[in-house]
């Protein structure tokens, strides 16, 4: 197994935050970003961590990323990385707004260090602990070539947050933790095997350790604040950093998009995208499709993506003619799949509340299609969707009959669905733009440096 190796230039797939070089107090500073998910992973947290690192490259003297081997959402390490302990990659062109960053002006570009870690084929609390611990140990044993002035650690994973805290303490750097998921909450709410009791308590202790050592904590949802307060993080150290939309609407009508993808016309198309894991509880969607098949032949369900539960969900759906599974799509076909939908689905396991905010929401709302969400009424997802003032229809999670009834009711109201889509896109344009996210990120980092 190689201990380290040079790999060629990488080109992240997703559009990133706006990239205009400016002179700031970060111009002479070095930033370290720590997070286990990164491009070329197409979904989940990776596009946001990638976007932040790329944007900071336009502000700071240099940016180094400590990340994992690409493995999400299928939970398998990509073949080209399978036998490597560490890799070292120099990104000289990033996204669609960067060109030849390394060596230009006073900026040194972006260095990506990919670190080997255990990737469990099946999810359990013990396997998740191994996943976290191996990434943490490789982070701590990897030499940092440039002493950082600012460390930005992203959860998940907790291992990355702890590593970021340890590096910041050792080097005297300022520490920002960006909370995408609350991991202790996830241990109890996601349904992972062995995730309750002692495991949840231990996870909370580790999470508390990392968050209390941060100079600033950035959360993607205000629903996370109460848990941070319970950890002893004062409100004056918490900042809101909502995720931004990392896709562009493809501009095709529904029939045009279905034609481009080779999907059938003349049916009401219901689409779910993203991770197929425990938290998503997509067995609920399968049973709703079964009910719809018995009541209306003009409804088609599509599940796009991969994840630890895909095989189990496919087995549950065996024999259903109105449900299709599609592998993860590239940056061109994914927006087309959203445009091809008449209705986009968010589905969460009953009991999931304030542990996370689905990353797919920004893409769904940008696509301008109606959204149906089977989520806890007081959870982070419901709170975010209520802010759209009508773009989403909320129903009780874990009730396939209620989901089927709502799908069929919306099928009978195409004008209302179109109005919901317009409201979603308007909300995305007003609140989920990359420019606004870039300004918030700049403000948080500048405040941390000045503080």
Phi, psi of 326, deg, nearest 5: -125, 135
Tell me whether the CATH fold assigned to 6-244+433-450 matches the one assigned to 254-431. Answer: yes
Phi, psi of 312, deg, nearest 5: -65, -40
- The CATH number of the structural domain formed by 6-244+433-450 is 3.40.50.2000
pLDDT at 98 over 70: no
Tokens found for residue 86: 């560490």
Tokens found for residue 51: 């976007």
What mean pLDDT is predicted for residues 122-136? 86
Lowest mean pLDDT segment, chosen from 161-165, 310-314, 376-380, 390-394: 376-380
315 burial type by CB count under 10 A (0-12 exposed, 13-18 middle, 19+ buried): exposed
Could you tell me where the DSSP H helices lie in 262-413? 283-295, 310-316, 333-340, 360-367, 380-386, 400-411
Lowest mean pLDDT segment, chosen from 55-64, 99-108, 205-214: 99-108
The band of 93, judged by pLDDT with boundaries at 50, 70 and 90, is very low
Are 287 and 400 contacting, i.e. CB atoms less than 8 angstroms apart? yes
Lowest mean pLDDT segment, chosen from 12-21, 275-284, 323-332: 12-21
- Which of 71, 49, 48, 178 lies closest to 119, judged by CA? 71
- The CATH number of the structural domain formed by 254-431 is 3.40.50.2000
The band of 307, judged by pLDDT with boundaries at 50, 70 and 90, is confident
Phi-psi region of 417 (alpha: psi -120 to 50; beta: other; left: phi over 0): alpha
| Angstrom distance (rounded) from CA 128 to CA 120 | 7
Are 80 and 313 contacting, i.e. CB atoms less than 8 angstroms apart? no
The band of 187, judged by pLDDT with boundaries at 50, 70 and 90, is low
What does the buried/exposed string (b/e) look like for 358-376 if buried means 16 or more CB atoms within 10 Å of the residue's CB? bbbbbbbbbbbbbbbbbbb
**Cross-strand partners of 170:** none
Between β-strands 268-273 and 238-240, what pairing exists: parallel, antiparallel or unpaired?
A: unpaired
Per residue in 17-28, pLDDT (tens digit) is: 655 544 467 888
Domain ranges (residues) in the chain? 6-244+433-450, 254-431
Phi, psi of 91, deg, nearest 5: -95, 110
- Which of 158, 155, 77 lies closest to 115, judged by CA? 77
Per residue in 218-236, pLDDT (tens digit) is: 999 898 999 999 999 999 9
| Angstrom distance (rounded) from CA 300 to CA 146 | 53
Tokens found for residue 150: 């600012």
Between β-strands 62-68 and 6-7, what pairing exists: parallel, antiparallel or unpaired?
A: unpaired
| Angstrom distance (rounded) from CA 211 to CA 227 | 11
What's the predicted TM-score (pTM) here? 0.84
How many residues belong to the chain? 451
């Amino acid at each position: 197994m190689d201990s380290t190796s040079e790999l060629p230039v990488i080109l992240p797939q997703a559009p990133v935050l706006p990239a205009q070089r400016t002179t700031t107090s970060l111009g002479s500073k070095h930033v370290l970003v720590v997070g286990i998910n990164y491009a070329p992973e197409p979904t989940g947290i990776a596009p946001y961590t990638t976007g932040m690192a790329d944007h900071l490259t336009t502000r700071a003297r240099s940016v180094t990323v400590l990340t994992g081997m690409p493995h999400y959402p299928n939970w398998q390490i990509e073949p080209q990385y399978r036998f490597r302990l560490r890799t070292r990659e120099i990104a000289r062109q990033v996204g669609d707004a960067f060109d030849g960053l390394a060596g230009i002006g006073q900026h040194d570009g972006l260095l990506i260090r990919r670190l080997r870690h255990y990737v469990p084929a099946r999810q359990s609390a013990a396997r998740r602990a191994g996943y976290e611990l191996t990434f943490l140990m490789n982070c701590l044993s990897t030499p940092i070539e440039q002493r950082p002035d600012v460390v930005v650690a992203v959860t998940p994973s907790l291992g990355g947050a702890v590593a970021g805290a340890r590096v910041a303490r050792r080097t005297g750097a300022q520490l920002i933790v960006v909370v995408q998921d609350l991991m202790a909450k996830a241990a109890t709410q996601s349904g992972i095997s062995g995730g309750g009791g002692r495991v949840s308590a231990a996870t909370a202790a580790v999470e508390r350790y990392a968050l209390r050592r941060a100079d600033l904590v950035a959360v993607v949802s205000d629903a996370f604040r109460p848990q941070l307060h319970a950890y002893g993080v004062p409100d004056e150290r918490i900042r809101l950093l909502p995720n931004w939309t990392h896709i562009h609407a493809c501009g095709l009508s529904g029939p045009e998009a279905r034609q481009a993808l080779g999907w059938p016309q003349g049916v009401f198309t219901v689409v779910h995208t993203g991770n197929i894991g425990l938290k998503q509880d997509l067995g609920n969607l399968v049973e709703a499709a079964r009910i719809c098949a018995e009541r209306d032949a003009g409804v088609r369900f599509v599940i796009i993506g991969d994840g630890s539960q895909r095989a189990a969900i496919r087995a549950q759906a065996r024999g259903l003619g109105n449900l299709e599974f599609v592998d993860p799509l590239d940056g061109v076909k994914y927006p087309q799949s959203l445009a091809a939908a008449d209705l986009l689905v968010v589905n969460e396991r009953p009991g999931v509340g304030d542990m996370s905010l689905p990353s797919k929401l920004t893409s769904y709302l940008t696509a301008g299609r109606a959204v149906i969400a089977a989520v806890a009424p007081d959870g982070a997802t419901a709170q975010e969707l209520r802010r759209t003032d009508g773009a989403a229809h909320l129903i009780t999670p874990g009730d396939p009959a209620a989901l089927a009834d709502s799908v069929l009711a919306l099928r009978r109201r195409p004008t209302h669905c179109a109005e919901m889509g317009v409201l979603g896109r308007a909300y995305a344009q007003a609140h989920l733009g990359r420019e606004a996210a870039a300004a918030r990120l700049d403000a948080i980092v500048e405040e941390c440096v000045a503080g």
